[in-house]
Structure 1
Amino acid sequence: MADPLVALACGLSGAFLFLLLFGLSVYLWRKRRTQTLYRGLIPTTPTIPRCTAPVLQTSEISSYGSGDVPFFVPPQFKRTSQLNEGKEGREDAEEWELHPDLHTQRGSLTGSWFPLGCIRPDLYQLPDEPSEWALPNGSAVRLWFALRYQQEREQLVVSLLRAANLPVRCQSNATLVKLQLLPSDDRRHRQAKARRKGCHPQFNDTFVFQVSNGCVDQCSLNMSMYTVDHQKKHHLVGHILIPLRHSEIKEAAGEVQWRDLDNESDQPISKNGDIQVSLNYNQSLHRLTVVVLRARGLQCSSDAGVCAQVSLKMHNQVVRNKWTSVAKGNDPTFNERLTFRLLPIQLDTAFLTLQLQQPSTKDPVSLGIVVIGPFMYARGRELEHWNDMVSKPQELVRQWHPLGSADTVQGPH
């Protein structure tokens, strides 16, 4: 009787133990599976919050006006699943090998990567001023501007930028610049006022002049700077006269240019008056350009007006004569360009004579004459002007010259 009971108890104990072991095995299997799944879904590195900016890869040298800054997201910050880990993992490893210095551009906390980048001081430094903004030497006043010609609209766009090195007496005065296109039927000038006072005023103004394509080369841009005192009186600081060239304006395409103002008060007026001339010689085109700008202090005997006769001579023989149009007043403004053909081998034997005349019914009345040429014909300022013209083929060299009487002009020295 006892044997069946013992056998039943043993059977129940064995069944209970089997069920216990089976349940424990199932529990351990499910726990291990859960841990394996979470290990694949949760990366070992911290994730980036949505509000965090991507880490930028920057270079050690920052350049002014460069293009887009290259950047990429490091591979450990990418949200990838375990299913496509194989292919993308190899791409991430290759990308990390191409940029091994990324860890030097981020901070770290307790040995783990930190998503915020380190402060780069070079990214917050303003670029140095370019050489175009260099201050002039001495007491010269410099003006920066830009020219652009829109051919389809036939418009000359002048951007007036800034000035520098104004006299100390002008610090508390307002600064004005008057712009005028000469010669032009529209005699009204445009005016720009500096945005602040001081020796280095800034303008940042743009003006548009309507000029046809065929008249650009015959025009000049005049910019005169004034200071206005507390009594509203205008005092001339200086002026710039720029003969326009369509080809040069197109080549510059709005680039920043500068000119030093011509201060007439520093040069005393001669007995017969002075004439201002710009010279340029283009060796490749064999072209000598003479721009008669203006005159001052003339002793005019009537109101008939004044014209300038420009003669190209060689060995005291006249090669070509040209005249400007007639201008009124004792301080006439011409702004006319005259060109002559001259070979490079003739630079040492040719010279220019500029004579101011008053037209009349009989013979014209001579007001004064000046000779500009090489050492054989000229001395002093006139010789220096000719030499500067030859040595600076890319510039229009401007100079004031005193006028002498016609009987003082001599032949070769």
Structure 2
Amino acid sequence: MADPSVALASGLSAVLLFLLLIALTVYLLWRKRQSQRQYQQLISTNPCIPPCTPVLQTSHGSYGLAGVPFFLPPRFESSSHAEVSEGREEEEQWEHQQHLHTQRGSLTIGSWFPLGNLRPDLYRLPEETSEWAEPGGSSMRLCFAVLYYQDKEQLVVSLLRAANLPAPYQSNTTLVKLQLLPPDDRRHRQAKARCKGSQLQFNDSFVFQVSNSSVGQCTLSMSVYSVDRLKKHHMLGRVTFPLRPSELREAAGKVLWRDLETESDQPLSKHGNIQVSLNYNQSLQRLTVVVLRARGLQCSSNTGVCVQVSLQIHTQVVKMKWTSVARGSEPTFNEKLTFRLHPRQLDATCLSLELQQPATEEPAEYRQTTSVTAPRSLGIVVIGPFMYARGRELEHWNEMVNKSQELVKQWHGLGAANAIQSLS
């Protein structure tokens, strides 16, 4: 049997331990309540900010905030004159609040250029709907407006409508690509028609940054494309608008209608025209040139002609190829010539297409190895980037680079061979 003294000691120890736990719990609860009371007293020392005060206030405590700027709430004293109306007081309060708001907000720039404001001068259109009336006729045409701001050096082009779209293209998506010629880069603006059919709506505005010294030397080009279900682009025509000072003054504030120039409407060059398709496959590093046909040549119809295609990188001709000889007043070639070209050489490469009347009917490979009379040049055209070409030739090259999945076809006017720097 256990000793009674040991049992008594064990009981007393248990009782003391229980009392100690109770005392510890009471102490912790008391400390928690004291800390909550001190926190509430600390908050109550801050000044009360009325909900209608339009500015932020800082607390005056012992935190050393003397270097932090703050604004006192406005004080509106009541007028001692009875004739001052309540509406005038509200107006003064609103002016004070607006003034403080422009000083306080870090994202508000003030009267210089407030965030969220639009510039209506860039989207100004004629108010009279009679100016939008479509002129008579059945040809495809574009409706647009042009305005140039000399102080800002900005050209604002508003593309409004298109009319008389041909029936085969009325179910397709219509795009208009706008570009300044000669361009300073490859970028262009693009507008998409908001509907389908023969009468299209655009209502888009574009801004071009052009200096006062160079605007008179530029031409606005607007090319219209029809995109079919296979995402293939068909060029329907384009409108060119010279930006001469006289043209800009006459067009200011007016809605202009211009007929589209199609490939068949392109005027014949003095030395004739040639139709070419281009394609560049970057993955294969292959440049494809398809010489299709020519027209308006200064030679008899029974004279055989061929096309010499030269690939030039910088000032060096790296490859020359010839088509077969074709006859007729409008000779048809339909020959494909390919060249190997690395993508990094695109900006330093151009193509020279020279229409020649050979002195012999021998194949081109044989003529290279025999001493025969030099062929007579009928005309030449250079297609390439901005370093070599302008106008249609530059536009054709840029379109070839941007559309690697299709052949880009276009007519080009031939120039005199002695007027173009020889590539040989």
Q: TM-score range by the shorter chain?
A: 0.3 to 0.5
Question: Normalising by the residue count of structure 1, what TM-score does the alignment of the two structures yield?
Answer: 0.38
Question: Normalising by the residue count of structure 2, what TM-score does the alignment of the two structures yield?
Answer: 0.37
